Amino acid sequence: MNNHFNTGHAGSTDSSTKEQSASVRTMDIVSKGLSRRYKAEKRFRLYGITAILLSMAFLSMLFISISANGYTAFQQTFVQLDIFLDPDDIDAQALQDANYQAMVKKSLRAMFPEVKTRTEKRQLYDMVSTGATYQLQDYVRKNQQMIGSVVQLWVPADDDVDMLIKGHIPRDVPETERRIKDTQLSWIDKLLEQGRIEKRFNTTFFTGGDSREPELAGILGAVTGSFYTLIITLLLSFPVGVATAVYLEEFAPKNRWTDIIEVNINNLAAVPSIVYGLLGLAVFLNFFGLPRSVPLVGGFVLTLMTLPTIIIAGRAALKSVPPSIREAALGVGASKTQMVVHHVLPLALPGMLTGTIIGMAQALGETAPLLMIGMVAFIVDIPGGFTDPSTVLPVQIFLWADSPERAFLERTSAAIMVLLAFLVTMNAVAVFLRKKFERRW
Amino acid sequence: MKKVFIASLALVFALGIGTVGAASRDYISIVGSSTVYPFATVVAENFGKTTGFKTPTIESTGSGGGHKLFGAGVGVEYPDITNSSRRIKKSEFEKAAANGVKEIVEVKVGYDGIVLANSKKAPLYKLSRKDIFLALAKDVPSGNVAGKTVPNPNKTWKDVNPALPDVKIEVLGPPPTSGTRDAFVELAMEGGAKKFSWIADLKGKDKKAYKALCHTIREDGAYIEAGENDNLIVQKLDANKDVLGIFGFSFLDQNADKLQGALIDGVAPEFDAIADGSYPVSRSLYFYVKKAHVGSIPGIKEFLAEFTSEKAWGEDGYLTDKGLIPMPEAERKKFRQAVENLTPLSASDL
C-alpha cells in the first residue's frame, strides 16, 4: 500500500531507508488499529460471557423456583391417633370385613368429646386422610396380636391440614375464604400442643401410585411406567439405530436412493412428536389392535421418535473413525463385515452410546406422542409389566398441574425435581461414557 | 451367543405382541371430559381400594374426543365408559349406533357451575348475562334496530354497563375444544343475547344466524384463550387483578382465599345456588356406559354402583368434597334406577 505512493520517484540508492520508513508506517497503522482490535476482542468475549451468564441465570431461576415450590412436598403432616382395636369389631377370620373407617372416626371423636353436631363431626373426620382407613387395615393384618389393645398410629393428615401446617393456607383471612374452618383450627392447635401433629418424611410420595388425594399421591407408578417404556424404547431403537447407521455409512452404495433416505432421516428428526403419536394410534392400536395406555405401545412410539436421533449420532460417530483403520483392516485381509464389527464399531460405540442416551433422555421427557395412545390417564395401580396400563413421569406432572387441589402444586414441583434428577443423571452418564471411552486421533 | 440373544429377543417380542393382541382387558377403561375427570377419578380410586377389582384407567380427552373414542365400536380395544360435560349429541349417538354401539346407558352425575372470577384484591363484579354478552361477543347489536350489528366496540366494562368499573375488558377462558367453553357460551352468552327481543325472535327464523351471533366470542384480544389448565388461570388472576377468568366451580371452591366469583344476575356462585338452579350458568355432567361391555369387562356394574351410591354422589358424599354439586334426591333415584336396570338411551330422548 505504501509502495504505491513511493513508485515513480523512488531511486535505488535510498530504497533501504524507504523500505524502512514503509515498514515503520505499516507498524504505525497496525498499532493504531491495535487498541480497536483488542476492544473488539474483549467485546466479543463479553458477549459470550453475557450469553452464558444469562442462560445460567434463567436455569438457576428455574431450579430455584421449582425447588422453592417443591421441597415441602417431601414432607407430609401426620396425625397421631389412639385407636382401640375392639375385638368385637374385628373378626380375626375376616379381617377385611371390619369397619376400619368407623374405628378411625371413633378415635377422633374420643379425642374431641365436645364435638356433637353432624356438620362438626364431618369437619372433624375431614382432618385425617381417607388413607388412614387403609393404613389401619394394613396394620391390623400385619399385627393381629394387637387386636384388643389400644394402638398409637401416625396417619397422614388431610391435604388441607397439611397445607395449613406448611403455611400454604393463611390463618389470618376470614373463615369463609379458608378451606380450614375456625373449629378445625382450634382442634389443630390443640393437637399441635399435645404433639400429635408432626411433619415427617413423605415416603408415600416415592412408594405410592397416583391418587386424587394429594396426601396419598406418589410417583412410583409413573416412574415404573417410564422405566418399562424406556426399556422397550432402548431394546428396539438401539439395535435398529446402530444397524441402520452402520449399513448407511459402511455398506450402502452412494446413489440417489441413499441420498433420499438420508434426507428423510434428517427430516424425521425434526418432525413434531405428536405426529408419531398419531402414527402410533393408527398403526399399533387401530391396525394391530394393541391395548391402549400400555408401556409396550408407548415404547414403540418413542422408538420411532428417537430412531432418527440415534441414527444421526451413530453415523457421525462412524464418520469420525479415521479411514486408515478401515484400510489397515482390509489390507491385512479382513472382510468388510470383519472390518466393521472388529475395528470400526468398537471405536465408534462410545459416540453411538452418547447419542442413544441423549435420545433416551428426550424420550423420557416426552408427553405429546403418548397422549394419542392413551398414556395420559389417571392410573392408580403400579404397573407390573409391559402390558399393564401405565403413565409416565412427565404425564404425571401434567396431570397434577391440572388438579384443583392446592396441595398438588407442591407435588407437581417435586415431581419435576425427580424428573430433572433423572435427566441430569442420564446426561452425566453420557458425558462420563464419552470422557472414558472416546479416542481422539 | 450374540445371535442366540438377538434371536430370542425377537421371539420374545413376537410372542409378546401376539399374546397382547389376543388378551382380554381386566380393567375398566374410561375416557372423556376433563370436567368430569376429577370426579370420576375419585370414584375410580375408591372403587379400586374397596373392591377386589383393578382400578379403572381414566383418560381426560375432552367430551367430544371421548364420544368419538367411545362410539368407535364394541370390543376390548374400545373404552367402556365416556364422561361428558354435556349431553351426547344426536349425531354422536347415531354414529355410535352405526359402529355397533347400539345400547348406551346415560347417567347424570350432578351439576357444575361455571364462574367468572377475579382477584380478591379487586372489586367484586356484579354482572348480568346481558353484560357478559355485550362484553365478550364478537358482534353486538347496534342501537336497537333489528338485524343491525357492529363489531364489538366495548373496550372497558364501563362501556358495557355504566355501573361497572372503568377497567379494560380482559377475560381468560378455555379454548373452543373445551366443554366448559361450550356451556359458557350457551348459558351465559346466549342467555344474555336473548334479552334483546329481536335476537330472541331470530332464533325461530334463522337458527344459523342466531347461533353465530350468540355463540361467537370476540377475537380482538379481550378474550384470551388460556388453555385447558384452570390452575394456570387461577395463578394469572392472582397476579393481575384487572383480569377475569372463566372456569369450573371446583377451582373457585379450592381458591376461595385468592379469588371471588362475580355475581351473575344477582346470584353469587355458591354451592346452594348452583344446586337449586338459581345460579344461571350451571350445567349437568354425565357419563355414558356401553351396555355390551357390562359382563365382559369385570367390575363395570360394581363401578356404576359405587358411582351412584349415596356415599359418593349424595348430599354429603365424597364427590361434593371435590366440588360436585349433587342432584336433588328424586333425580338421583331416577338415575340409580337407570343404572340398576341398565336402561338404554333411545334416539328419541335426544
Which three cell numbers mark A17? 531507508
Q: State the CB neighbour count (10 A cutoff) for residue A1.
A: 8
- Domain annotation covers residue A263: yes
- In eight-state DSSP terms, residue A113 is T
- Domain annotation covers residue A211: no
Put simply, the answer to whether B16 touches A381 (Cβ < 8 Å) is no
Q: Are residues A305 and A166 in the same domain?
A: no
Look at the alpha carbons of B265, B266, B271, B277 in this order and tell me if their dihedral is positive or negative.
negative
For the residues of A22-84, what is the DSSP string, one character each? HHHHHHHHHHHHHHHHHHHHHHHHHHHHHHHHHHHHHHHHHHHHHHHHHGGGGEEEEEEEEEE
Q: Are residues A312 and A332 in the same domain?
A: yes
Euclidean distance between CA atoms B112 and B252, whole angstroms: 12
What are the chain A neighbours of B44 within 8 Å (beta carbons)? Answer: 378, 380
Residue B294's identity, in one-letter code, is V
For the residues of A344-365, what is the DSSP string, one character each? IHHHHHHHHHHHHHHHHHHHHT
Q: What is the pLDDT of residue B169?
A: 92
Query: Is a pLDDT exceeding 80 seen at residue A1?
Result: no
Q: Would you say A369 and A301 are in contact if contact means Cβ atoms under 8 Å apart?
A: yes
Closest CA of chain A from B221, distance in Å: 24
| pLDDT tens column, A262-278 | 999 999 988 999 999 99
- Domain annotation covers residue A215: no
- Domain annotation covers residue A212: no
**Cβ-Cβ contacts under 8 Å for A369 (sequence gap 6 or more):** A273, A274, A275, A276, A277, A280, A301, A302, A305
- Domain annotation covers residue A195: yes
Q: What is the pLDDT of residue B104?
A: 94
Residue A127's identity, in one-letter code, is M
Q: State the CB neighbour count (10 A cutoff) for residue A418.
A: 18
Domain final residue pick, A20, A36, A71: A71
Q: Are residues A53 and A160 in the same domain?
A: no
Q: Are residues A268 and A368 in the same domain?
A: yes
**Is some CB atom of chain A closer than 8 A to the CB atom of B307?**
no
Please name each of the domains of chain B with its CATH number. Answer: 24-112+283-349 (3.40.190.10), 113-282 (3.40.190.10)
Q: Between A291, A376, A406, which is nearest B59 by CB? A: A376
Chain A CA closest to residue B79:
A292
Q: What is the pLDDT of residue B13?
A: 56
Cβ pairs bridging A and B (under 8 Å): 108
**Cβ-Cβ contacts under 8 Å for A409 (sequence gap 6 or more):** A69, A168, B231
Who has greater pLDDT, A40 or A404?
A40
Put simply, the answer to whether B231 touches A403 (Cβ < 8 Å) is yes
Residue whose C-alpha cell is 468388510 = A336
Euclidean distance between CA atoms B159 and B164, whole angstroms: 8
Q: Would you say B244 and B125 are in contact if contact means Cβ atoms under 8 Å apart?
A: yes
Q: What is the pLDDT of residue B141?
A: 86
Put simply, the answer to whether B20 touches A290 (Cβ < 8 Å) is yes
Residue whose C-alpha cell is 465408534 = A348
Closest CA of chain A from B10, distance in Å: 10
Question: Structural domain of residue A370, as residue ranges?
Answer: 220-437
Closest CA of chain B from A399, distance in Å: 9
- Domain annotation covers residue A213: no
Chain A CA closest to residue B28:
A389
Q: Which of A301-305, A403-407, B62-66, B336-340 has the highest mean pLDDT?
A: A301-305
* φ and ψ at residue A331, rounded to 5 degrees: -65, -35
Q: Are residues A404 and A257 in the same domain?
A: yes
Chain B CA closest to residue A408:
B231
Q: Are residues A189 and A44 in the same domain?
A: no
Q: Are residues A64 and A80 in the same domain?
A: no
Put simply, the answer to whether B256 touches A212 (Cβ < 8 Å) is no
| pLDDT tens column, A61-96 | 999 999 998 999 999 999 999 988 888 878 777 777
Domain final residue pick, A42, A71, A100: A71
Q: For A298, how many CA atoms within 13 A lie in the half-sphere containing its CB? A: 36
The percent of residues above 70 in pLDDT, for chain A, comes to 94
Closest CA of chain B from A228, distance in Å: 14
Closest CA of chain B from A131, distance in Å: 10
* pLDDT, chain A, mean: 88
Q: Are residues A369 and A240 in the same domain?
A: yes
| pLDDT tens column, A136-146 | 888 888 888 88
**Cβ-Cβ contacts under 8 Å for B326 (sequence gap 6 or more):** B110, B111, B275, B313, B314, B315, B317, B319, B320, B332
**Is some CB atom of chain A closer than 8 A to the CB atom of B82?**
no
Euclidean distance between CA atoms A81 and A153, whole angstroms: 5
B218: closest CA among B183, B158, B171, B263?
A: B171
Q: Between A173, A378, A389, which is nearest B41 by CB? A: A378
The percent of residues above 90 in pLDDT, for chain B, comes to 38
Q: Would you say B289 and B80 are in contact if contact means Cβ atoms under 8 Å apart?
A: yes
Q: Between B20, B42, B321, which is nearest A291 by CB? A: B20
- Domain annotation covers residue A210: no
Give the number of domains in chain A: 3
Q: What is the pLDDT of residue B75?
A: 87
Q: Are residues A319 and A367 in the same domain?
A: yes
Angle at A30 between CA A25 and CA A35, to 5 degrees: 135
SS (H, E, C) chain B: CHHHHHHHHHHHHHHHHHHHHHCCCCCCEEEECCCCHHHHHHHHHHHHHHCCCCCCEEECCCHHHHHHHHCCCCCCCCCCEEEECCCCCHHHHHHHHHCCCCCEEEEEEEEEEEEEEEECCCCCCEECHHHHHHHHECEEECCCCCCCEEECCCCEHHHHCCCCCCCECCEEECCCCCHHHHHHHHHHHHHHHCCCHHHHHHHHHCHHHHHHHHHCECCCCCEEECCCCHHHHHHHHHHCCCCEEEEEHHHHHHCCCCEEECEECCECCCHHHHHCCCCCCEEEEEEEEEHHHECCECCHHHHHHHHCCHHHHCCCCHHHHCCCECCCHHHHHHHHHHHHHCCECCHHHC
Q: What is the pLDDT of residue A340?
A: 94
**Cβ-Cβ contacts under 8 Å for B303 (sequence gap 6 or more):** B28, B43, B44, B47, B53, B56, B81
Closest CA of chain A from B155, distance in Å: 31
Q: Are residues A62 and A78 in the same domain?
A: no
pLDDT tens over chain B, length 350 residues: 455 556 655 655 554 554 444 457 889 999 998 889 989 999 999 898 888 899 999 998 888 889 999 999 998 889 999 999 888 989 999 999 999 999 999 999 999 889 999 998 889 999 999 999 999 999 888 877 777 888 899 999 999 889 999 999 999 988 876 778 888 898 899 988 888 888 888 888 888 888 888 889 998 889 998 876 777 888 889 889 899 999 888 888 888 888 899 999 999 998 888 888 889 998 889 999 999 999 889 999 999 999 999 888 988 888 887 888 889 888 899 999 989 999 898 888 77
Query: Is a pLDDT exceeding 70 seen at residue A203?
Result: yes
Q: Are residues A132 and A32 in the same domain?
A: no
Euclidean distance between CA atoms B288 and B93, whole angstroms: 11
Residue B175's identity, in one-letter code, is P
Residue A176 banded pLDDT, cuts 50, 70, 90:
confident
Residues in chain A: 441
Residue B341's identity, in one-letter code, is N
Residue A294 banded pLDDT, cuts 50, 70, 90:
very high
Interface confidence: ipTM more than 0.85: no
- Domain annotation covers residue A331: yes
> Judged by CB atoms within 8 Å, which residues 185-244 of B form the interface with A?
228-231
Domain final residue pick, A71, A96, A121: A71
Q: Are residues A163 and A136 in the same domain?
A: yes
- Predicted TM-score (pTM) of the model is 0.81
Tell me the H-state helices in A169-251: 182-193, 204-207, 220-246
DSSP 3-state of A231: helix
What are the chain A neighbours of B37 within 8 Å (beta carbons)? Answer: 378
